[in-house]
Amino acid sequence: MNYSYDIDRLTHYLGELINRHASEDARTWIKKQQNRWDESQKPMHFNITFTAIPRFVDKTVIQLDDSGAGTLKNIRNGFSIKGWPLDRIVRSWWLLQYPSADEDQYVSHIENLFKTAEMNEQVSLYSSLPLYAYPERFRLRAAEGIRTNMGNVFEAVALDNPYPAEYLDEPAWNQMVLKAFFMDKDVNHIIGLDERANAELAHILSDYAHERWAAGRAVNPLLWRPVGKYIDEDIYPDIQQLVTSSNDIEKRAGFLACSESNYKPAQTLLEQHPDIKQQISEGKLTWSQITLQN
């Protein structure tokens, strides 16, 4: 199977969405390009159309209701177009038109689009990582996107994108999470942040916190979210520092980390604060409530 999901169902859903939101002129242009592509199957025409889409389709951000968002995630697990402008949706839909029967030819063509893409095209291409056929063939491309210095391109890879959690190896995943903190991105939007937490990442983040503390800089309290399960004798002093902080958000982050730990001193520390332990057990204190205090 070339795709990890029902491509016909997704193509139809996105097509209906485009028909509802695109102007009449945009719909006419899209249909014309689709007919030309169906007749010619010329890669050059495919590429020119992909590049030209923003000239004919506006950039209005499409707001899906809960039902629509749920439908997308049912078709392609974890996939979301939240915050996407219409032209990006059309570009993703257009990418689904490219034939995938020949694996090497398909991968080569998508890779060539990445290599020649300008910034907004890269955003569309990286946002579409979960939609490509032969998804395992794009691991290195995703890792390349993580290394970019363009914030919106990095976000397209790292945030609200199920591909990294599903396909990146551990070093690339850890690099992505660390860079998200370094770039002050909203890490709550990293899909799989909890599931793919690992001991190596916990120590990398601890070291990063030490660097920021040494420089007199704040540490995002959410940094401790992937760390809790891997608290050990090296990381435990960081947690002690958090729970004795005068910053209430840091303190709560420290206790939340303790609540996820099997390390006995961390468990004992939480036991010494039964009121906070109860808040956590009742769901009144969660990571979603922890934000970087400005």
Return the C-alpha torsion angle 103, 106, 112, 117, nearest 10: -130
Query: What is 38-62 written as a DSSP string?
Result: HHH--HHHHHHHHHHHHHHS--PBP
As beta bridge partners, residue 92 has none
Per DSSP, 261 falls in state -
Cα separation, 171 vs 204, in Å, equals 11
CA-nearest of 92, 99, 88 to 131 is 92
3-class DSSP state of 90: helix
In this predicted model, what pLDDT tens digit does every residue of 24-51 receive, in sequence order?
999 999 999 999 999 999 999 999 999 9
Q: What is the pLDDT at residue 290?
A: 87
Q: What is the pLDDT at residue 289?
A: 87
What the block records as the tokens of 257 is 């980390």
Query: Contact 106/99 with Cβ under 8 angstroms?
Result: yes
| Mean pLDDT confidence for 263-275 | 97
What the block records as the tokens of 43 is 């890669």
pLDDT band at 1 (very low <50, low <70, confident <90, very high): low
In this predicted model, what pLDDT tens digit does every residue of 51-78 receive, in sequence order?
999 999 999 999 999 999 999 999 999 9
